[in-house]
C-alpha cells in the first residue's frame, strides 16, 4: 500500500515542492509552454540549489511516470516559462 502515501502539487512558476527529502514519482505537463521552456528539478529548496536532478521540457504535453528520483535536500521546481505542471511525489 505504498502508493497511498503520494502527494500531488500543480504549479506554473518556481515552486518549493517539498522542504526535505522526498521522491519524485511522476510528472505531467498539463498546459504547454513555448519553444524551449523547461522545468528543472533541483535537489534543494531554492532556484540556486545544485545539482539539477533532471529536466522536463514543456513545449509539448507529456506524461512521465516511473521516475522514482530521490531528492535528499528538498524538491524545488525551477520553471522557465508559463507551462502548467503536475508532480506526484512522496
* C-alpha cell belonging to residue 81: 516559462
Q: What domains lie within the chain, and their CATH numbers?
A: 2-89 (2.60.120)
pTM for the predicted model, two decimal places? 0.91
CB atoms under 10 Å from CB of 70, counted, come to 11
Q: Return phi, psi of residue 85, to 5°.
A: -130, 140
Q: Is 4 helix (H, G, I), strand (E, B) or coil?
A: helix
pLDDT at site 3 = 60
Low-confidence ranges of the chain (pLDDT < 50): 1
| pLDDT tens, position by position, 58-76 | 999 999 999 999 999 999 9
Amino acid at each position: 500500500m505504498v502508493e497511498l502515501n503520494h502527494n500531488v502539487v500543480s504549479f506554473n512558476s518556481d515552486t518549493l515542492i517539498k522542504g526535505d527529502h522526498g521522491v519524485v514519482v511522476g510528472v505531467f505537463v498539463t498546459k504547454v509552454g513555448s519553444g524551449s521552456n523547461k522545468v528543472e528539478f533541483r535537489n534543494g529548496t531554492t532556484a540556486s540549489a545544485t545539482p539539477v536532478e533532471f529536466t522536463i521540457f514543456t513545449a509539448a504535453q507529456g506524461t512521465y511516470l516511473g521516475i522514482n528520483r530521490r531528492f535528499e535536500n528538498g524538491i524545488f521546481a525551477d520553471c522557465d516559462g508559463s507551462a502548467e505542471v503536475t508532480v506526484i511525489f512522496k
